[in-house]
Structure formats: structure tokens, C-alpha cells
Chains A and B, each alone.
Chain A
Amino acid sequence: MQIKADEKAKVLEILGGTNLESKLLSMGVYKGKQVVKLSHIGLKGPVVIKSGRSILALGHSVAEKIIVEKE
């Protein structure tokens, strides 16, 4: 589901191949991790999230592949 800026959510699944999944995994975004969406830029622009103490910028299509669930 799509969450708004400043909303918290839990990662349910990461779609789109093992490479993306392992990259996100090594950066600390994995199944069950709680993330906060900080903002998105424009309609199809990047999404900025906070995971733990890191802030990550995800291209729009990366963000689309991270399936989350609101708590």
C-alpha cells in the first residue's frame, strides 16, 4: 500500500530480483523492518525514507517494489 509522508510502516516484501533485495538488505531495509517515509519529490520522483538511523533516497521504481504495511 502507499503511505504518506511522515507515516510509519513495516516492510512486508521486497519485489524485483535478488540484486535489489540484497542491496537493500545490506543497507538495513529488510522484511519486518520498520521504516518512516520522509517525503517524495514530484509525482514519479524519488522517495526518501528513514530506516533505523539512516536516511535513504530510493528511485521511484525502487520504492514501488518495497511492499509495506501500516501498523
Chain B
Amino acid sequence: MIKKIYLIGNPNVGKSVVFSRLTGVQVISSNYPGTTVEIAKGYLILGQEKVEVVDLPGTYSLDPTSGAEEVAVSLLKELPKDQIAVINIIDSTNLERNLLLTVQLIEEGYPVVLCMNMCDDAGHRGVYIDFAKLEELLKIPVIATCALTGQGIKLLTERINEAISAPKPGLTHQDRWLEIGKIIEQVQRLEHRHHTFREILEDASVRPVTGLIMAVGIIYAAFKFVRFAGEGIISRITDPLFMNIYRPLLEKLSAPWQEKGFFFHLLIGDLISGKIDFKQSLGVLTTAPYIEFGMVLPYVISFYFILCLLEDIGYLPRLAVLLDNLLHRLGLHGYAVIPVLLGFGCNVPGILSTRVLESKRERFIACTIISIGVPCVPLQAMIFGLLGKFGGWYVSGVYLVLFALVIILGVILNRTLTGYSPEFLLEIPPYRFPPLLMLWKKLYLRIKGFLVEALPVVLLGVCFINILLYFKLFDFVTAIFAPVIHGLFGLPKEAVVALAIGFLRKDVAVGMLMPLGLTANQLFIGATLLAISFPCIASFVVLAKELGIKGLIKSTAIMVTISIIVGSALHFLVLH
């Protein structure tokens, strides 16, 4: 009687794709080790029964050497072995290395089914496997699958019941490798092929000179694309919709509303020379949807499109190799580029994915750097929207300040924090070109995630701000902080409200700066301050979860100190 099914396998063999196929639960999958940092659970109908399926983090063996591997192994021991089935997922293009875990699972008496994933890719790479022979040698069901297309998944579910426990005496890893070598000789045939274009690219991207050229080119192209596509969506789609359809509609509906009282102020906001101005009116139905859909969403779409593409192709681990040297100076290692890049989308998944880093010290450094120096897409979109019209230098200025901060802060943290930063040891996946449909699915998941998280906060936030503004409740806060804001940072005292709102959501906060009529320099200081000061509430919650209260306090103290120093320094440099 199977009560639970576990999916286990080496990192980056496509466990999450198989999981989605089996359960219908959509989870994010990418082409790099360590995508799954949270355990996903779903259900599979097996005969008449509904059985729970658990997607475990990747592990190379049953003797855990990292946190994620420990989690995988301990979950596997939750239930007695006769109540579970284990689907061991294997990357068919790399059978030998994957079999270590399989052999160990069999030895320890787990009921195993072998799922030979990516078997289509194996063929492309000149790897031919005799599945029947492998089944005979291992004495467990062996099923060839291609989870991306769904091939073999049905057969896999049909054969789960055949998994039986047959423990064998345990070997040492060294002996296991010998045994695996013998199996490989009998079941695998390699066809020697000339280097394909894909393999030449794979190689070139981890060599110093060609790798660096490729990295610069790819990052430049990615950045250009995000701007181009983002602006394209704004000027072709969202702006026409807002200006030509939504605004006339709103104006028609609100026209009979003669008395401009509380609710008018709440929903529509202030009229700018008798008209609704989406950037300045600050109403729940005007500025709030415009910020989210008209300014931020287009960039969220274009950013995640590029990120998903780079993730699925498998470029990110190669970037990690190239940046390892630099990141070492900051007390991190190359793999920290993954949380940092995810942080550029939204700090929350960025902070969560610092779990791919092993030590507490590294995680603290990475989380602090992400919160301070990595602006999320919504914030960046607003910075482009506001500062862009004053010229590219202001926008680049914000990035330069942030980059300098990350470097300085990293070097200082690396020198002062105790503890060690473990070494870099990472498997580099081959380049893969997943079907476009997979890319769309993932993009859809991420955009949906963004809207679900952001929209309620933005609408409620603007509503809340309007109530406070209407009853002049901000005056008290403004009065307290005005000396700091005005004296130190050179911003008008109304900017206090915007900076305070930064705690709620950064994009709305920048939006609050729009009606203030700031000069380019003041906007530059305000936007930079919003980027480095407190993270928004959602990041704050995950920071507390990942670093603990003590770590959070430490990290926050650093942020506040830096904001004050940088704010005053910029004020002095730019406005004097």
C-alpha cells in the first residue's frame, strides 16, 4: 500500500518538471542545480487512491553534505519503507554519475522506480542506452521519459506499483563506482561525434577570454531587450489603453460627481488642471492601477522573459564561474549570482534562494547586499519612468551608486564578519533549449505571482495613504522627520511620506514622489534612497525568516546607517 511517493535525484535532472507532469501542480523549474529550495507537494491518482507526491531537493548521494541534501534524506525516512515508493529521476545524458544514488537507494531497501529523463537529449548527444539490459542488471523498473514533452510519464505511473524493497549489503562509494563502471560498460554506447555548435558554445562560455566577451554581450543584450520590450509595451499597448480608453471612461463616470468630497479624493484623487493625471492624481482608481499596469507590469514581463530564457538555457551557472573571483572579495562565491539575479526581479525570491549558499555568513552577506544594492523590477521601472526623461545619466547614476555600495559593503562585511565562506563546487549543466511552451508557462507563473502579491498591496496602500493625507495625519510624521529629510538629504518635507511608503511598496513610494515637482537632482537622491533604505514589508518578512531576528536587526541597522550616510553624501555632492 503506497502512502507517499518521493521524487529524488541529482540536482538539475528535471525533478520539478516530472513533478509538474505527475501532479498537475505548476512549479518553477530551471536549468541550474538548486532551483527547488522549498519542498513542493501534490497528489497523483493511482488506481482508486490519491497518493501524495513530494518533490525533494537534488542530492548526489544519501550521505548528505549540504543543508538541502540533509532535508531530502531526512524526509525520505519519515515513513516505513513498505509504505512509500521512490521515483529516482536520472539525467540520461549522464547515466554514470546519476547511478551512484540509484545503487545506494537499492542497497538501503527503498522501493525504487528508475525514471530515465531527458532521453531525447541523450540521443542528440550520441548516448545510447539499453534500457532493458539496465532493468535486468538493477532488478528495478526502468522507464525512459522526456518530461518536457510528457513522453513516458503515463508508463511511469503505471509501473510505480512494481517497485519493491530488496535491500543489499552496503558498499563504500569507491566500490559503488567500480560496480557502476561495469554496468555502464554493458548498457551504454557512446557514439563519438564532432563537437556540435552547442558544445563549442558551452566550452567557450567558461574560458576566460571568450567567456568574458560572451558575458558582457549577453548582459548588454539582456538589458537592452528589457528596456526595449518594456518601453514598447508601454508606448504601444498600456499607454494607449490608459489614455484613450480608461481615462475618458473614468472622466465620464465621475463627471456627475459635483461635490469633490472624501470619496472623490479617495478614488479619483486630485484633478490636475481639471483633468485626471495618472501620474499625479493619486487615486485608488487612477494612479494605483497606472503605476502597477502602466509603468511596472510591462517591465516585469520583459525582465522575466529574459531571466526565464537565461535560466532555462543554462547560462547562469557559467556566469557564476566567471564572477567567482569578484564575489570572493565580497565574502561570497560565484553561485551567489543566482540569488542576486532573482533579486533584480523581486527581492523576495532572491532572499529565499540564498539557501543555495551553504554557510550562515554567506547568507547574511547575500541577503544584506540584495536588500541594499539590488533594486527590484518594480522599483527600476519607476526609476526609468521618472528619471529617464532627465537623461540617461541620472538613471545610470543610481545604478553606479548601488554598484559601488555593494562592492564597498561586501568588502567590509567580508573583513569584519567571523565565520567562514565555503568553497565553490558546482556542476555546470549543458545548454538546453526548452520548448517555447515551457517558457510561456514559467513566465505566466511568475507574472501571476507578481500580480497576486503586488496588486492588493498597491490598491490598499494607495487607499490608506489617501485616508491619512485627507485627514492630514501625516503632518505629525512629517514634522518629526522633516529636519532629517530636508536638512540632511535636501528633499522637501513632503518627501517624508514617500520614503515612509517605501516600507509598503517601492513602486508606489516612487510614485508618491511624482506630484511633488522635484528637480532632477532631488529625484535622483530620493530614488537612490528608496533603493537602499528599508526593504519593503514582503522582503522584511522573508529576511526575518531566513536570518532570524538577530540577523534581521543587524542587517536593518546596516541599511539605516548606509541610507543616512549615502543620502547626506549625495546631497552634499549633487546639490552644492
Point out residues on A near B: beta carbons under 8 Å: 5, 19-20, 22-28, 30-31, 33, 38-42, 44-46, 48, 52-59, 61-62
Q: How far is the CA of A21 from the CA of B534 in the complex (A)?
A: 42
Q: How far is the CA of A2 from the CA of B93 in the complex (A)?
A: 30
Q: How far is the CA of A48 from the CA of B206 in the complex (A)?
A: 7
**Which of B60, B202, B325 has a CB less than 8 Å from the CB of A41?**
B325
Given known A39-B208, A45-B325, contact A58–B425 (CB-CB < 8 A): yes
**Which of B173, B211, B324, B426 has a CB less than 8 Å from the CB of A22?**
B173
**Inter-subunit contact A59/B324 (CB<8 Å):** yes
Q: How far is the CA of A9 from the CA of B538 in the complex (A)?
A: 50
Kindly state whether residue B239 has any CB partner on chain A within 8 Å. Answer: no
- When A and B form their complex, what is the total count of cross-chain residue pairs whose Cβ atoms lie within 8 Å? 110
CB distance from A51 to the nearest CB of B (A): 8
**Inter-subunit contact A46/B174 (CB<8 Å):** no
Among A33, A40, A59, the one with the most B-chain Cβ atoms within 10 Å of its Cβ is A59
CB distance from A48 to the nearest CB of B (A): 5
Closest to B94 in A: A53
Interface of A: prevailing SS: mixed
Q: How far is the CA of A31 from the CA of B174 in the complex (A)?
A: 8
Residues of A within 8 A of B424 (CB): 46, 57-59, 62
Point out residues on B near A: beta carbons under 8 Å: 60-61, 63, 65-66, 93-94, 96-97, 100, 127, 173-174, 177, 202-203, 206-208, 211, 317, 320-322, 324-325, 328, 333-334, 423-428, 430
**Inter-subunit contact B100/A57 (CB<8 Å):** no
Residues of A within 8 A of B94 (CB): 52-54
**Which of A22, A44, A57 has a CB less than 8 Å from the CB of B334?**
A57
Q: How far is the CA of A44 from the CA of B73 in the complex (A)?
A: 35
**Inter-subunit contact A55/B427 (CB<8 Å):** yes
**Inter-subunit contact A57/B96 (CB<8 Å):** no
**Which of B177, B203, B324 has a CB less than 8 Å from the CB of A30?**
B177
Q: How far is the CA of A31 from the CA of B423 in the complex (A)?
A: 20
Contacts A45-B325, A57-B425 known; list 9 others, CB within 8 Å: A22-B61, A26-B60, A26-B173, A27-B425, A48-B321, A52-B94, A53-B97, A55-B202, A59-B334
Given known A38-B207, A41-B324, A57-B317, contact A23–B425 (CB-CB < 8 A): yes
**Inter-subunit contact A46/B96 (CB<8 Å):** no
Q: Identify 20 residue pairs between A and B in the complex whose beta-carbon atoms are under 8 Å apart, listed by A's number.
A: A20-B423, A22-B173, A26-B100, A27-B425, A30-B177, A33-B177, A38-B207, A40-B208, A41-B322, A42-B325, A44-B328, A48-B321, A48-B428, A53-B96, A55-B430, A56-B427, A57-B334, A57-B427, A59-B334, A62-B424
- The 4 nearest A-B residue pairs measured at CB: A59-B424, A26-B61, A59-B423, A26-B60
**Inter-subunit contact B425/A42 (CB<8 Å):** no
Residues of B within 8 A of A52 (CB): 94, 96-97
Q: How far is the CA of A40 from the CA of B324 in the complex (A)?
A: 11
CB distance from A58 to the nearest CB of B (A): 6
Q: How far is the CA of A70 from the CA of B426 in the complex (A)?
A: 24
CB distance from A65 to the nearest CB of B (A): 9
**Inter-subunit contact A57/B428 (CB<8 Å):** yes
**Inter-subunit contact A55/B428 (CB<8 Å):** yes
CB distance from B49 to the nearest CB of A (A): 34
**Inter-subunit contact B97/A57 (CB<8 Å):** no
Closest to B208 in A: A41
